[in-house]
Amino acid sequence: MKPLPLRFVPPKAKSGVVQKLSEEVLIYDPVSHGAHCLTNTVAAIWGLCDGKNNVGDITSRLDNDFHLVVDAKIVLMVLEQLSSAGLLTGQIEPELAQLSRRQAVRWIGEIAALTLPFVVSVIVPTPSEAASCLPNGAPCSRNSDCCSNLCILGRCLLGARKKVP
């Protein structure tokens, strides 16, 4: 995918289930089975990604609408993380997001680093994967891993019966 011009930030991806919690926003993508956890600051930035705002607009709106003073360099770093996580429909130009997390920590100082925005992503197993069990002879770490509910010396034994979810 060709990087978008500097004039605007790509819009946010529309697929997924969004759940707002008190301190963060969770986004689940049923296609990739990925779950993403955004801090409120990152969620505010993501919410302003509509394909029409540029970095300056997002920085101004964060200050005006949310009373969050965030430097444009931090906004660019967050946009790169959102793009990498697949939460934007386009890519951020590489030269835009050259500020590494280490540089950002040095730049904003140790105190501000405690509230540095992050995007945390994990893969969520499908229901069938979560409810499956291991057959006889498979490596295991606990009894509940095995269909037989019998894990001995790291191997499932007598795996004849199926686990009921």
Q: Is the dihedral of CA 20, 4, 68, 100 positive or negative?
A: positive
Q: Do 99 and 135 belong together in one domain?
A: no
Task: Say if 11 falls within a structural domain.
Answer: no
Task: Say if 162 falls within a structural domain.
Answer: no
Task: Say if 10 falls within a structural domain.
Answer: no
Strand-by-strand arrangement of the 24-29 sheet: 17-20, 24-29, 34-39, 119-123
- Does pLDDT of 123 surpass 50? yes
Instruction: Give the mean pLDDT of 141-150.
Output: 84
Higher pLDDT, 138 or 129: 138
Task: Say if 58 falls within a structural domain.
Answer: yes
Q: Do 60 and 104 belong together in one domain?
A: yes
Percent of the chain topping pLDDT 90: 7
Q: Tell me what pLDDT residue 49 has.
A: 92
Question: Which residues span the domain enclosing 143?
Answer: 127-156
Q: Do 113 and 133 belong together in one domain?
A: no
The overall pTM is greater than 0.85: no
Q: Do 77 and 46 belong together in one domain?
A: yes
Would you tell me the crossing angle of helices 55-66 and 72-84 to the nearest 10 degrees?
110
Per-residue confidence band for 73, with pLDDT thresholds at 50, 70 and 90: confident
Instruction: Look at the chain and report how many structural domains it folds into.
Output: 2
Q: Do 38 and 117 belong together in one domain?
A: yes
Q: Do 54 and 112 belong together in one domain?
A: yes
Q: Do 104 and 152 belong together in one domain?
A: no
